[in-house]
Amino acid sequence: MDGNASTESPGPAAPDRRPGRRGLDWNRATRFMAAEREDYVQRNPASAVLARQAAEHLLFGVPLHWMNDWGTPFALHVEHATGVDVVDVDSHTLVDFCLGDTGAMFGHAPPPVAAAVQHQAARGYTTMLATQDAAEVGRLLAGRFGLPYWQFALSATDANRYIVRWIRAATGRKKILVFNGCYHGTIEDVFVDLVEGQPVQRDSLLGQVHNLLEHTVVVEFNDLPALEAALANGDVACVLAEPVMTNIGMVLPEPGFWRAAQALIHRHGSLLVMDETHCISTGPGGHARAHGIDADAVVMGKPVAGGLPSAVYGMSAALADRAVQAKRQAPPGHSGIGTTLTGNMLAMAAMRAALSEVMTEAAYAHMLALAERLADGIRAVIARHQLPWCVTQVGARVEFQFCAEPPKNGTEADRVMDPELEHLIHLGLLNRGVLITPFHNMMLVSPVTTPEHVAQLLGSLDEVLAAIVARA
Ligand SMILES: Cc1ncc(COP(=O)(O)O)c(C=O)c1O
């Protein structure tokens, strides 16, 4: 189905309209992109064959349609991934800074998780019953995030979906509030944007027949007056937010934003749900906790079981009380929350190992120090090429953005995104043995990333930028 393998010429040079292109020579960039595409095709014959075979029966030629969004001429196919090494089927070893965009934030197949999975593998996967790991995982989560009660899901998407359901049930309020440009997985409710100040349902959604505007309120991040106005009706069940926006590039909270926002949220009888799925990069208990914000509920997925499908959500004692009441008062029958394989034995074993042996203080100490070095190194590369770009760091998570000053909200962040330029940089890095996330310009530092890996990324980025900047 997918057009896939192609080395077609890129066509006429695009005009330099995007802010991030100031300082670039787009004619050079266009020639560079064509050469990199050709290079990719030459270097990856085994991936090309697999891509052609996959296209016979996989819709779009890949297991999930957006696996084509890497911007490569055809999908790269992986032979195996361990630590930060991704070995592709053409035997290139790539240094991975994408890390399954956070699922493998602590490295691929971390040994304690691999051992736990191996142990559990011959002892059953799913029984609809709790194992010995359940109570321990609950204890570990409570200690880490400071919330007493926990439940599970198979993805962070589902964890968000379920916590929103519990909170709507507990509060009797129907609306939720999100920040413009947010992403919390494919939970339907959040796909409402602000376009020229007006809430609009995201038009890229497929098959969405419900009017999301009815129950979702959207405001800009860092905009306290807008938040207060949106909460004032007293009909918002919860604010669902990342402590730092990470999915439209990164947008940091302004100093004092969350403390003031939390006060407003509570004043209007609403609850705060922190989605720490990405911001767990800050520290063992997530970003909010590290900054003194105790949310009413926390969601975390992706790396919580070392990258196996699993997610968690926790709640305060007060919210748990109301949730239990809601369940007790509801008629018997389906709650609409949960799936058959949720909390399965394999995931619980993996989670116990990840929480107790992988996501440790020592791991974070290494990640944070090295991420700092990476962020500084990228700033130096950008400065050397005199580009008007900035770098933002949230613990082990580092991102460069095509603007001189970090954006303050989703609208500003969206304005500076440039997928064509991103693809060019990502492909240039990939051909030089370095993977960064296919969406925007995000990099993660894992406990097994080394200074040499960081140096390789910096050297490769320097080379790519040297090939596309305007020559003096
Ligand atoms: C903040 C946040 N929450 C939730 C999700 C959903 O995670 P998953 O795709 O594993 O369901 C994502 C995915 O990128 C995310 O960035």
With residue 198 as reference, give the H or E element that holds it. strand 198-201
With residue 149 as reference, give the H or E element that holds it. strand 149-153
User: What single-letter amino acid sits at 120?
Assistant: Q
pLDDT at 6 over 60: no
How confident is residue 16, by pLDDT bands cut at 50, 70 and 90? Answer: low
CA atoms within 13 A on the CB side of 52: 8
Q: Is residue 164 a contact partner of residue 189, using CB atoms and an 8 Å limit? A: yes
- Cβ of 155 less than 6 Å from ligand 1: yes
Q: Is residue 389 a contact partner of residue 20, using CB atoms and an 8 Å limit? A: yes
Q: Which two tokens stand for residue 13?
A: 């040079």
- Cβ of 437 less than 6 Å from ligand 1: no
Over residues 431-442, the mean pLDDT reads 96
φ/ψ region of 128 (left if φ > 0, alpha if ψ in -120 to 50, else beta) reads left
Q: Which two tokens stand for residue 83?
A: 């630590």
For residue 159, count other CB atoms closer than 10 A to its CB: 31
pLDDT at 320 over 90: yes
The predicted-structure confidence for 140-192, as pLDDT tens digits, reads as follows: 999 999 999 999 999 999 999 999 999 999 999 999 999 999 999 999 999 99
- Cβ of 277 less than 6 Å from ligand 1: yes
pLDDT value at residue 10: 43
| Ligand 1 centre distance from Cα of residue 158 (Å) | 9
pLDDT at 20 over 90: no
Q: Which atom of ligand 1 is nearest to the CA of 103?
A: 10
The pTM of the full predicted model, rounded to 2 decimals, is: 0.95
| Ligand 1 centre distance from Cα of residue 189 (Å) | 14
User: What single-letter amino acid sits at 125?
Assistant: Y
Q: Is residue 25 a contact partner of residue 470, using CB atoms and an 8 Å limit? A: yes
